[in-house]
Amino acid sequence: GGHLSDITFNVSRTDALTKALQIVEHEFVDELATRLVSVDFYTYTPENQLFSSCQFYCEVTEGGAWLPMAQCHAFNIWSSDEVFRTACEFAFLLYVLYYVYKLIKDLRRAFRVGGGCSYLLELWTMLEVVNITCFVISALLRIFWFIESQGLTYKLPGTTYPKDFRSVMQLFWLQVYFNAVNTILTCLKILKFVRLNDQLNILTRTLRAAQHNIIGILTIFLIVLTAYALTGNLLFGNGLEEYKDFSTSFSTLLRLLLGDFDYEAMRDENPELAALYFWSFVILGSFLLLYFWSF
């Protein structure tokens, strides 16, 4: 449950502030039951037809500390100015569909001769499957984004909150995420052609020879990282945003190994165990990384 208050676009700053104060006066927001306060709004840049979703919120931790945070996501809505770009994207989609057909044809040929499972479990085949799958999903998201954009009707300036923008923004950023992952996968496929040169093939041969040791040390590293992430959330999660939950704590520890940390904040939050937690993780993590690179 919760309370939602819409402040329309055509109100003045004074009226908006008055409405916000009324929320506090009517105890919609208090110091006991409130766990999250969020302020959402959209902005529009006419020069490049760019929309932005801005969210400012304060979250209360289990220990009672308020953590202010902000998120801003820029996104586009399809317009008639993007006809040429859409045509190019459609041509690229046909290119991707050709590779889907080619992959299915290769799989059928492999299963016909009795080596389909081994062919499918090859590293390069799995990479190809994931790569093409991401391309297809991204294309479908792009199509849904196009359809959602066609259904939007907005007029600026307006007096209503454009709730229908959220679905377009989510579709836009989902395709961005898939394209970001696919960029890495596409670049990794270059290593497949590196095998044609003996000198450039040193990296792939080294990884193939040490793959069992690498998997073992990575497993140990993930176990240690998971344990320290959970511990960090328990020790510092009440007051530090970097350890507010498991996923954030996990990312913070990876940054810590790269030298990005705030030891003073950790010591202020938990002076009894901060030093033990910090130095034990640094020493253990450094030894694991050194052991990893010794391969």
**Domain spans in the chain, listed from the N-terminal domain onward:** 13-76, 80-199, 210-293
Q: Does the pLDDT at position 280 exceed 80?
A: yes
CATH architecture label of 210-293: Orthogonal Bundle (1.10)
**Residues 142, 89 contacting (CB under 8 angstroms):** yes
What are the Cα distances from residue 205, in Å, to 202, 208, 215, 216?
5, 5, 16, 18
CA distance 4 to 7: 10
Is CATH 2.20.25 the classification given to domain 13-76? yes
Query: Degrees (nearest 5) of the Cα angle 32, 37, 43?
Result: 170
**Residues 160, 11 contacting (CB under 8 angstroms):** no
What are the Cα distances from residue 219, in Å, to 150, 163, 216, 223, 256?
47, 44, 5, 6, 19
Phi, psi (rounded to 5 degrees) for 69: -140, 165
For the chain, give the mean pLDDT.
81
- Of 13-17, 22-26, 30-34, 128-132, the range with the highest mean pLDDT is 128-132
Q: Does the pLDDT at position 193 exceed 80?
A: no
**How far is residue 3 CA from its own chain's centroid?**
28
pTM: 0.68
Q: What percent of the chain has pLDDT over 70?
A: 80
192-205: b (≥16 Cβ within 10 Å) or e? eeeeeeeeeeeeee
* pLDDT grade for 47, boundaries at 50, 70 and 90: confident
Q: Which residues contact 141 (CB under 8 A, 6 or more apart)?
A: 171, 174, 175, 178
pLDDT mean over 227-248 = 87
CA distance 86 to 190: 27
Q: Does the pLDDT at position 229 exceed 60?
A: yes
What are the Cα distances from residue 87, in Å, to 6, 8, 83, 167, 207?
39, 38, 6, 23, 41
**Residues 165, 78 contacting (CB under 8 angstroms):** no
* pLDDT grade for 261, boundaries at 50, 70 and 90: confident
Confidence (pLDDT) at 110 = 84
pLDDT mean over 69-90 = 86
